[in-house]
Each structure stands twice: as C-alpha cells, then as structure tokens.
Chains A and B, each alone.
Chain A
Amino acid sequence: MLINHLKLSLRNLWKNRMLSSLNLLGLSIGIGGVLTLMFSVYAYYIADDIIPDQDQIFYLKTHLADGNYYNEAVYPLLDKIKSTSPEVIAGTHLHGWGNIWLEVGDNEFQKTTTYADPEFFDVFALPLKYGNQSTALNEKFSVVLTDKVSKQLFGEENPVGKILIAADTLNLTITGVLEPISPYSSFRLDVLMPNTILKDNVGFKNQNNWDDSFSPIFMKLRPDADLQQFESRVGQLVKENYEDPTVISRMEVIPHTEVRMDSIPVVEIIIAGNLATSFFVLLLVLVNLLNLNTSTMYRRTKDIAVRKILGGSKKGVITQFCLENGILVLLSILISGGLFFGFLLPKMNDIFGADFGEIKFSLTNDYPVVLGAILLGVLVTLVVSILPTLRFISLPVSQGIKGKLDSAKGSFILRNTFIIFQFSIAILFICVAVILNSQIKFMKKADLGFEREHVIVGNIDLDYKDMDAANSSFRTLLNDLEANPYVTDVSTSQAIPSDYYFNYTRYYDADTDTDVRLRRSFADAGYLSTLKIPIVLGRDFNEEMDNGDEKPVIINRSAMKAFGWSTIEGKRLKYKNDDLVGNPVVGIMEDFHYQDLQNAVEPLVHYYRSEDELEKHRYLSVRVVEGKEKEVRDMIALAFSKIESRKNYTQSNLGEKVSGQYRLMDGMLKTVNVVALLTIFISCLGMFGLISFMAKRRIKEIGIRKVLGASVLKIVVLLSKDYMLLVSIGALIAFPVAWYMMNAWLSGFAYSVPIQFWMFALAGCIAFCITAFTLGIQAIKAAKANPVKSLRTE
C-alpha cells in the first residue's frame, strides 16, 4: 500500500511538474532563508554556553552623574570588593593594554591581547584543550592561547611549554590552549595573559588609581548572594574610595548573561528582526502551500469520490496527500541545506562577519539545527496536507463524483485574507528596502563638510622597528610629496573622518561658566586644507607659528556654540579646577561629519601636532590632482616599503573610508532586499497557483463569455481584478505599518531622509508590477483557450 502511495505521489508531482517545481523553489528558498536566520540566532544564543555557571557571574557598570555609563571601573576596586564582600567567590579584571607583538621562530604576529587576574579561570571556567586551569595564569610570564591562534602557530601540536617572545625582550611560556570559542561569544580574544606582567609598566602604574575607570570587572558570586545588598555595598566602597565620587551616580551589578545585549544594543534589534523575519517567511511559505494544496484538492474532489466508492478510506487519502507533500518538503529541505552551506552561510559571513565574527557549522555542535529543520519539515508537511484535505474528505460522495465545489464558499474569505496578509508582508518588506536604500544613499551622498574625492589615505601606524630611521625617511617622503606637482596638500593626523577616537575630555570656561565635553584629536597644519574644511574664525595651524611650547587648538563651530562664545579672542581651553594656563584657541573650523550620519556632529577639538611626529600620528592624507592618484600612491607605497616595520603599509582613499562606515547597514540592506524579493516571490507563487486553478474552475464561464463576444483583454481583467484588489488592500495595510516602523528606525539617526510619498508609491508599484505580470501570464493563457473545447468538457 505504501509503495502504491509513493508511486502515486511521485506520479502526481510529476504530472503537475510546473506547480511542483514552483512549490519546490519557494519552499527551498523559504526554508533556506529561515534556516540561515535561525542558525545565526541559535549560534548567538549558545555562544556563551561554553562558560560554566554563567548565571553566577556578574560585572560592574559605572553610571555617571551626567547620564553616561560604561562597563569599566577603577582598577583597585576589585581588590577592595573582594576583601569586604564574602559573597564574591572569585573576581577578575579583563582588559586590553595594547596588543603586543609576539614572536615564534621567525614569525611575528600581533593578536588581540587580553589581561586577566590569575583567578580568571575561577570566574570563567573556560575549558582548556591543553594545560591546567588552576595554574595557567599563575606565572607572570605565562600566556594562554585560543585554539585558533594555537592552530595558526603550531598546527595540531600541543604547544604547552613552548616559548613565545613578546616585544622582542620577554620570554613567555605557553601554559594553556582554550577550547574553540564561538565568534558570537562575549570573549573576543586571541591571547590571554596574566595582568601581573603589567605591574611594572609605567603607564599602567599611573592608571592604577582610584580615578581612571578603564578596567571591566567580573565576579563570580555565591548562588545565595543578595544582589541588592551587594550592589549597595559596592556603591558604598565607591563613595569611600573614589577620588571624585560625585561624578558617579551608581554602580550597577549586571548578570553576565546580559553582557552582549548590553554592549552591542543593535544585536537585540538584529536578533528580533531575524526572529520576526523567519517567522513571517515561514508563515508565508505555509500559507502558500495551504492555498496551493487547497486548489489541488478542489481538482481532486472527483478523484477522492471515486476512491471512496472503490472502498478507499479517509485515512488513505490523507496519507497519500501527506506523502506527496512530504516528498516535496524533504526535497526542499535537502536543497535548502545545499543553499545554506553553499551560498547563504558564506554570504552571511561576508555581510556580517566583519562586525559579528564568522560563524561556522559543525554537525557535532549544531545538530539541533538539523533536527529542528527536520521537525519543522514534518510539521509543515502535516499542516499543509491535513488542513486542506479535511474539508473535502467529508464532502458527500454523490456530490464529489460530480465535481461539485460550491459548498466551499466560506473558504474564499479565508483564502483572500491569506492573500492580503501575504502581500502586506511582502509590500512591507519592499517599503523597508526602499526607505533603507534611500537613507543609505543619502548618507553616502550627503555633503559632509569636507571634500572626500581625490584624497589618498595611508595608515602610518605600523610599529616601526627603528623609530629614528623611520622618522627621517618619513620626513624625506613628506618633502618629496610637498615638492610633487601632482600633490596639492599633505597632512598627518591622529584621526581622519570615519575614524576619530572616542576620546572625550571635559573643559571649563570661567567667562561663560560652562562645562563642555569635547572630543579630542590631534592634527597638523595641513589637515584642514587637505580635507578642504573651511575656517570660520581665526586661523588654521601654522608650522612656523605653532611649533613653540604652547600647543594651540582649533575647535569646531558646535564647540564654540556649546561654550557660548561669539569670539575666540583670548580664549583658552582649560580643565576645571586646574591651575594650568590651558591651550590657546586660534581658530574655529566649520562643523564637518567626522563620524557617520547616524551621529550628530559633536563638539570637537584639534590639538596641534607637527606633521613629522610619525610615532604619534596614525594617518597620512594626501590631496592629489585628479587623475594622478595612481602615481602618487605608488610613490608613497615605494617609500614605505623601504621603512622597516612590523605591519605592512596600506592605503585607500577618503571616499572609501567614509562609505566603509555604512558597511553594516549595507549588509542590512542586502538582507532586506533578499527578504523582500523572497516574500514577493513566494506570494506570487501562491497567486500563480491560485489563478491557474480559478481559471480552470471558471473555464466554462470563460467559454460562455467568449462565445458571447468578450475580448481576451476583458477576460484577463475579469480574472485578475479581484486579485489586484487584494494586493491593493495588502498595500494599504502595509504602508502605515512601514511608515511607523521606519519612522521609529530613522529617528535613531541624527541626519535622516524624510519619509516621502514616492517611497510608498514605488514599493506599491514594484509589488503591483510583479503581481500583474504573474497574473497576466495565467490569465492570458486561460482567456485564449478555444471556447468550443472548454464548453464541451462536461
């Protein structure tokens, strides 16, 4: 019997191969998409599962009186907490301190280095592949590698006991290798070192005080710890010990499980978006199959009746139909698996890998995803085969045998609702894509207050081996550049637009009694002219005038406004409660967008720093005559190839750097585009099946109308107008929702495009055209049929 069912199912699928392949296509893409989205969500959720007892781990968040907050605290606080709080089992700092260069054999490499207390493994009992947790970080000169780094350096060998040379002088012994860590995990490290090694570092000693909050603090608490009590005790310690406790409003103790959400808020949106998208895509696929299957069942009413007369049972009919759908779903799961591994996963890593880390699929870890996919398949199969069968199965045989269908009037309302729903979602996604697209275009094209074209940007922060030699070669290069006829301006600076440090400093002006937080950077005399940023008041930096002991500053217009100044005559930037004379303000530059347009232009100060201080600057910017970029690039690259450094010199241009700020958003746009296409495709697929079925049902009506003189066009309109109406209703539902959603999203941008009517019109148009095309093909086919033939069918 089963073989018989199977044979029949295959034959049925083959007979309707057009519809079957459309179904297969829709299902495969749909399931593939859902699989990808769900996998990324899954990978995210299990990423920190590698940490045992995560619910007992907490970290500190410092809330400032001015409303700002950060996840760092002062370094000595942890020891104080440990000595006063019995609920703390163990605690560790976890901070960077520059990434030192490590040497093994002839290879040198620089990895993200994280410093932790020897107690680290008592807090985060991360499993070790090699080595011993309890002793790994005990020795001052020890280092623990991640699995990735270990493989990179030593292959599959166990490197424990080997020596790495750090910063040319220190011999570090490898004491452990961590098990692989998911890139979605909160641990973004390559190399773990005991912070005892920093104790002799002068800079570190200076910062190890009760004023500089630079170190995140993690603690493992007893399971029975009273969090509120603990938090208030920490608050008390802050009050008693901090140099200036008034700037701190409170210390929050936060569970480690929330750390990722807390540190990258956009993750929450992406996860929610992923879940919602998968849900809707799945729903669309389901609704679609339901619709198509219902039509199929209509066509088979006679079949079912005959089967029943011949003695078939309801169960048999349902089994047969389940099998048919099951084959389809199983096939599409296989195809979507291929899509997932061959295309979607690499593509996703392409788009989001740079920001969130690449994820990989391994069967041993990720088998729940496979199981989930199969379970999903079974569920989909059951729903889409059983629901449509139910109504037809109970149709009286004597009616079924005549192929009577009218008794199913009620289902049209349901089906129309489905169609409206499908299209409103599809149109919603198109709207989102259109608006997202125009926002990104706007941000990329906007006037930024500087000229981004024809500026070569080189990264000169290269860890030079011989600083003096590098400096003199660099000075020669600068002279050559200034002499080069193709070069109009040259500048070296600590930052360029798109890459300014988040280095905020508080200044106080006694005249206006204002306290202003300025973002601080360093630039030479050529910076503003190279970028063509206008001076509003005063003057630009000048090499001859400014090379004295007193370093002048230039602030931007926003900063001037914030201070409430109308002139810069005699103004100086000073810290509050400071006896120093401060730095003279020599000019005001026009506001320019030194960060992406999601953020407003904040008050900014540039400190003067001479152009040839190679070790302090990070960027070389060169404005070139149009068309001569290549020559100048080659010249600079050649000069740097002669300077010995650990990193290789890289260069690009300012325009690329600026556009690069929107990489993540570009990725989002790509994803939304794909989803929009997918949803409209799936919706049209359903529509396609429906109209072909409707045309069949109305074959007689069409024949009669044609005999009575209706033209092909009239019949096409007749067949499609109801559906176009449904699409319009879908659009009407989608527009306000899209407007509301995108308005909320755009309000997060300091500079955004206004949402305009044409965006919705465009989205509606796209949906309409695609639908009309789909409908048209089928409708024309039906309308062209010979009426003599169609009227003869009984």
Chain B
Amino acid sequence: MLLQLRNIFKWVQQGGQRIFLLKDINLEVQEGEFISIMGPSGSGKSTLLNVIGMLDTFDEGEYDFLSESVHTLKEKYRSNLYKEYIGFVFQSYHLLDDLTVEENLEMPLLYKKIKSSERKALVADMLDRFSIVGKKDLFPTQLSGGQQQLVGVARALIGKPKLILADEPTGNLNSQQSEEIMQLFKKLNKEEGVTIIQVTHSEKNAAYGSRIINLLDGRKI
C-alpha cells in the first residue's frame, strides 16, 4: 500500500463558524493505481490533492505514506518525503520562466544534490524520451501550452517518483493536446507502474484511470 487517509477533516474558521473543506475522508491507494478525483468546483478536489501531496495540512485524522505517519512528522521531514517520492503536475504548468527547458528539468535534481554528470545524463534521457531535445534551449514562454505541460510532466518524472499528483493537468490545453498528455499518463502507469492521482473535470479524462473518486462539499460520495 502506498498511502492511506483515515478520517481526514480540514476546515477554516469563518465568522465563528467552521466551514469544512474536507469532511471525514477515507482513502487507500495501492501502488500502480491510476485514480481520478472528480467533483464540481469547490468540492475540495484540489485541497485533497494538496493534502495528499503534503503541500497543505489538515486539522484532524491520520495520514500514512509508505508506512510513515505524515500527521506526526515535522515540516522538514514531510518535505523530504514528498521531495523523494512525489512529482507534481499543475494545470498552469508552473515552469520557472527564467529557466530554459533543460534547466527546468535539471532543477529538481539540483535540489537532490545529484552529481553534474549524472544530472546531464538524466536530463538528456528525459528530453529524448519526450522528444523535446530540439526545444531544450527554449524558455517556457516560447512553447505552446501542450509542450509546456509535456515539460511539466517530464520535470515531475525526472526524480523517479512513486506517485504523480496532477491537478487538472489538461485544464489549459486543447483537446488534441489533452489527448496526448492523457495517453502519456496511461503509458507511464501501465509500463512503468507509476501511481497517478489526477484531479479532473472531464469524464473522458477520468475514464483513463482505474478508479474514480467523487467529491461533493468535501465529502466522498
């Protein structure tokens, strides 16, 4: 088992009242799964994803990731944990505009203190795999949305994570580009066994997954 959420609650205080963002969420994810989280706007999809990715905290409940209990970990260990095992893909790509494609890919490796020669090899490998070798010296703003997201996925993958969290990865893309990205996810899941959790609005994209979780007002239905 990769991760387990037990009775997760998250709320904000507004005018003396508790507004629940997540309410009693229980979730088990096995390695190799491809899960789609669906639900209307404001149902807590992104919040749930952030909690899983340890970018956000929760107020109540327990969270085990690879048999580490996240809720008892200190901030520093938590960030070490997600650095090591989780890759993120965002709707608006969040590539660093000041860096070239190549440098964007190299960034996570820099933070992992991997040797220069090894970094170069890994980046070259990744560029090759995503057929973006020709774009390596371009800046993100010079690429189309689809290509940017491709780089975004490549960057998420380069650290060899066990889990990829994707928050509406195709939200800003046209249908053809969406198709390509989803095919890529499917391939990664099938061939390399990477666990994927995606948030999506699209039934069509959700269908790529092996399991769908529906949320409404912070509750799993």
Contacts and interface: CB of A to CB of B under 8 A. Distances in A.
Interface string A1-38: 10010001001100100000000000000000000000
Given A11-B98, A12-B98, A396 B110 contact: no
Interface in A292-334: 302-303, 306-313, 316
A398 B55 contact: yes
A310 B108 contact: yes
A302 B94 contact: yes
Interface in B52-68: 55-56
B69 to A, nearest CB: 20
A295 B6 CA distance: 41
Contact of B96 (A306, A316, A396, A401): A306
| Residue picked from B55, B56, B92, B107, most chain A C-beta under 10 Å | B55
B155 interface: yes
A308 B107 CA distance: 11
A397 B110 CA distance: 19
Contact of B110 (A1, A12, A303, A398): A1
A187 to B, nearest CB: 59
Given A1-B110, A11-B98, A310-B155, A396 B92 contact: no
A311 B96 contact: no
Nearest to A311: B111
A794 interface: yes
Contact of A316 (B83, B95, B111): B111
Given A12-B98, A15-B98, A401 B111 contact: no
19 contacts: A4-B103, A8-B99, A12-B98, A15-B98, A306-B95, A307-B96, A309-B82, A310-B83, A311-B83, A311-B111, A313-B111, A316-B111, A397-B56, A398-B50, A398-B55, A398-B56, A401-B55, A401-B90, A794-B92
User: A-B pairs with the 10 shortest C-beta distances?
Assistant: A311-B111, A311-B83, A398-B56, A398-B55, A310-B108, A397-B55, A398-B50, A306-B94, A312-B111, A11-B98
A1 B55 CA distance: 25
Nearest to B49: A398
Interface in B91-130: 92, 94-96, 98-99, 103, 107-108, 110-112
A308 B94 CA distance: 12
Nearest to A397: B55
Contacts of B50: 398
A303 B83 CA distance: 17
A217 B122 CA distance: 84
A310 B111 contact: yes
Contacts of B56: 396-398
Contact of A309 (B88, B95, B98, B110): B88
A311 B112 contact: yes
A4 B94 contact: no
Interface string B26-61: 000000000000000000000000100001100000
B100 to A, nearest CB: 10
B138 to A, nearest CB: 14
B183 interface: no
Contacts of B155: 310
B107 A310 contact: yes
| Residue picked from A307, A309, A396, A794, most chain B C-beta under 10 Å | A309
B88 to A, nearest CB: 6
A310 B159 CA distance: 9
Given A308-B79, A312-B111, A401 B98 contact: no
Interface in B194-209: none
Interface of A: 1, 4, 8, 11-12, 15, 302-303, 306-313, 316, 396-398, 401, 794
Contacts of A309: 55, 82, 88
Nearest to B171: A794
Contacts of A303: 96, 98
Contacts of A306: 94-96
Contacts of A4: 103, 110
A133 to B, nearest CB: 65
A302 B96 CA distance: 9
Given A309-B82, A396-B56, 5 more contacts: A1-B110, A4-B103, A8-B98, A311-B159, A396-B55
A302 B155 CA distance: 17
Contacts of A313: 111
Contacts of B112: 311
A645 B192 CA distance: 105
A308 B95 CA distance: 13
A15 B139 CA distance: 13
A15 B96 CA distance: 13
Contacts of B159: 311
B107 A307 contact: yes
A311 B98 contact: no
| Residue picked from A4, A306, A308, most chain B C-beta under 10 Å | A306
B37 to A, nearest CB: 16
Nearest to B113: A1
A310 B50 CA distance: 14
A404 B108 CA distance: 23
Contacts of A12: 98
B173 to A, nearest CB: 14
Nearest to B84: A311
A742 B85 CA distance: 69
A8 B94 CA distance: 17
Nearest to B57: A396
Contact of B108 (A11, A311, A396, A794): A311
Contacts of B94: 302, 306, 401
Contacts of B110: 1, 4
B152 to A, nearest CB: 10
A309 B80 CA distance: 10
A616 B10 CA distance: 102
A794 B94 CA distance: 12
B108 to A, nearest CB: 5
Contacts of B103: 4
Contacts of A316: 111
Contacts of B79: 308, 311
A402 to B, nearest CB: 9
Nearest to A400: B55
B49 to A, nearest CB: 10
A401 B165 CA distance: 15
| Residue picked from B90, B103, B111, most chain A C-beta under 10 Å | B111
Nearest to B108: A310
B170 to A, nearest CB: 15
Contacts of A401: 55, 90, 94
B79 to A, nearest CB: 7
A661 B38 CA distance: 87
Contacts of B82: 309
Contacts of A312: 107, 111
Nearest to B80: A311
A307 B55 CA distance: 13
Nearest to B56: A398
A307 B79 CA distance: 12
A316 B99 CA distance: 16
Contacts of A310: 83, 107-108, 111, 155
A310 to B, nearest CB: 5
A727 B178 CA distance: 52
Nearest to A316: B111
Nearest to B107: A310
Nearest to B86: A309
A298 to B, nearest CB: 15
| Residue picked from B88, B98, B159, most chain A C-beta under 10 Å | B98
A312 B95 CA distance: 14
Nearest to A5: B110
A437 B88 CA distance: 65
B117 to A, nearest CB: 15
| Residue picked from A15, A310, A316, A401, most chain B C-beta under 10 Å | A310
Contacts of B108: 310-311
B10 to A, nearest CB: 11
A308 B82 CA distance: 10
A396 B83 CA distance: 16
Contacts of B83: 310-311
